[in-house]
Amino acid sequence: MKRIAASRRSAAIAAVLAIGILSTAGVYFGRAAGYRDVPFSDLLTAFERGQVAGIRAIDDEVRATLADGSELRAVAPAGYFAGNPDLIASLARSGVRIEVDRSSRRLFNALASVLGIGVLGLVGFTAWRTTTGRIPSVSGRTKVAGKGDRPVTFDDVAGVDEAKDELREIVDFLREPARFSGLGGRIPRGVLLAGPPGTGKTLLARSIAGEAGVPFLFASGSEFVEMFAGVGAARIRRLFKDARKHGRCIIFIDEIDAVGRSRGGQSHSHEEREQTLNQLLVEMDGFEGHAGIIVIAATNRHDILDPALLRPGRFDRQVTVGNPDVRGREEILGVHTRGVKIDAAVDLRQIARGTPGFSGADLANLINEAALIAGRAARAAIAHADLEAARDKVMMGVERRSLQLTARERVVTAWHEAGHAVVAALLPNADPVHKVSIVPRGRAMGVTMQLPDTDRHTYTRDYLETQLAILMGGRAAEQLFLKVETSGASNDIERATEIATHMVCDFGMSPLGPLAFRKQDEGGNRAGFSDDTARKVDAEIHGLVTRALETSRTMLHERCDAVTAVAERLLEIETLEADEIRALVN
């Protein structure tokens, strides 16, 4: 109703302004509405015959009223009256009433004045509405997970067993608070879930509410940040006020880094956010207790949060939710395939092995892509080949079958990928080769895929040097068998340089010793060591990459028959699987 009343007031003000403008225009336009336009010579003739009772001169326009009451209007030549003063004197002697008006732009000026007053009125009205009307509302309802939704439990969350163990105490307290309060224990006020995007932080928070059977109030950190002072803090107060009505409940704030960044700085733009953060700090651990209310927050940027937010009494417990390992990925795939028609022969363990570094969201996308691929093929269930194709699409991009390579480009790509594959198959510390293809995907003309047997959390020097040799295998094959060097090795060289840089500057795997050499600063200058040391660092990085290239050249030269076999087979069928690669190399 208030919005309707405000709209009616605005319409009334606009109508009044329009009436004023039209009235003013009507007055000025109406004055000349009854005049008949005639040539100036006719007006002079009327002067000579004594038929003119009065004239009104507006610059070069002459409006004459005749003795019979008719009205004429004509435009005189420029400067006519100024050059004929006798005419004016003769008309005056004849008793003609003469009026002179030099304000020829009076109508324009009047309209401009009315328009200016209208604009100022609208500006004043807008300022009045902003200061006395309703600014962004803080009285809306708090968002609560719907009762009709299927509750999420710990059974729907997989791959984060350690995080679930940390949060089971929260569930037990919400179910049986007396069990803890009788011993004098205090449940954590807040739990901070930190980790990369897509690892299931929000799902984990909902599972706590589902397990405990309590209301789940949720909000986003960005909802509390407004340009109007006080709105964010008011929304925080409203959120906790609504939570107290439920008694025992969970408040979930997603992306809390939007409002919980460290305070400080000279910019006035941060004052509203800091005021909102201060209100959140008070609500979580102030004079007023909130027994039974647990705040759970999620963030991808744990490092930028304000220290006062992380102290005991606010977010007492901080749980890291990372990317799952191979066993966790297999469990997550099992959860996402519950409502999906999947072939009984599908090996989820192998798919889990082939997706290192995937988050829960990535695996959910993988299953969805596989379902779409199976649907396009009109299959009744998702086959293992569909999951393989979906994984390749997610990891390496869509196949670019429409890209027509020349015969020379196909040959270069085949020998390049054969070099990668043979080096990877021969080196003892390398991950097993899973697939080699010369079908363009994304920006790559070909790809060699390796699948590790297990997830790696640390890397030995032998393993990193093996990776360097595999990366340089494509360039070595080009040099040995085709006597060319192409731009196709650019990504390999970039990755090899990055690995070698980490080995020297971060991992201490060089004759320079176990020292960490700082990277370039924002200005692009190397800091923390001398120019002589910088030259040694560059020489060590160069030596690691060039030695890896020589290792690849030696291996490919000794096994040129295997390289030839793999390259020719790739030119024939474009894609080789692991079994065929091993047969050709052995």
Return d(Cα 499, Cα 307) in angstroms, integer: 35
Return d(Cα 384, Cα 350) in angstroms, integer: 10
Helix segments in 145-270, DSSP class H = 161-175, 177-181, 201-212, 231-246
Q: How many CB atoms lie within 10 A of CB 551?
A: 20
Q: Are strands 575-577 and 433-437 parallel, antiparallel or unpaired?
A: antiparallel
Return d(Cα 429, Cα 460) in angstroms, integer: 10
The two tokens of residue 369 are 């892509």
Return d(Cα 329, Cα 334) in angstroms, integer: 9
Quick one: residue 508, left, alpha or beta (phi over 0 = left, psi -120 to 50 = alpha)?
left
The two tokens of residue 70 are 């008719």
> CA quadruple 140, 146, 151, 156: dihedral positive or negative?
negative
Provide CB contacts within 8 A for 556, sequence distance 6+.
419, 422, 423, 473, 476, 477, 480, 481, 563
Cα of 380 vs its chain's centroid, Å: 37
Active site residue 522: no
* 260 in Cβ contact with 271 (< 8 Å): no
Q: For 247, phi and psi rounded to 5 degrees? A: 75, -105
What's the N-to-C CA distance of the chain in angstroms? 83
Helix segments in 32-79, DSSP class H = 40-48
Q: For 525, phi and psi rounded to 5 degrees? A: -95, 140
Return d(Cα 548, Cα 493) in angstroms, integer: 11
SS3 category, 547: helix
> CA quadruple 388, 392, 394, 400: dihedral positive or negative?
negative
Written as one letter, the residue type at 241 is K
Return d(Cα 516, Cα 507) in angstroms, integer: 7
Return d(Cα 208, Cα 250) in angstroms, integer: 8
CA atoms within 13 A on the CB side of 288: 10
Q: Are strands 36-37 and 190-194 parallel, antiparallel or unpaired?
A: unpaired
Cα of 197 vs its chain's centroid, Å: 13
Q: For 305, phi and psi rounded to 5 degrees? A: -75, 150
- 223, 330, 417, 540: the catalytic one is 417
Compute the residue count for the chain: 586
Indicate which residues carry an active-site annotation.
417
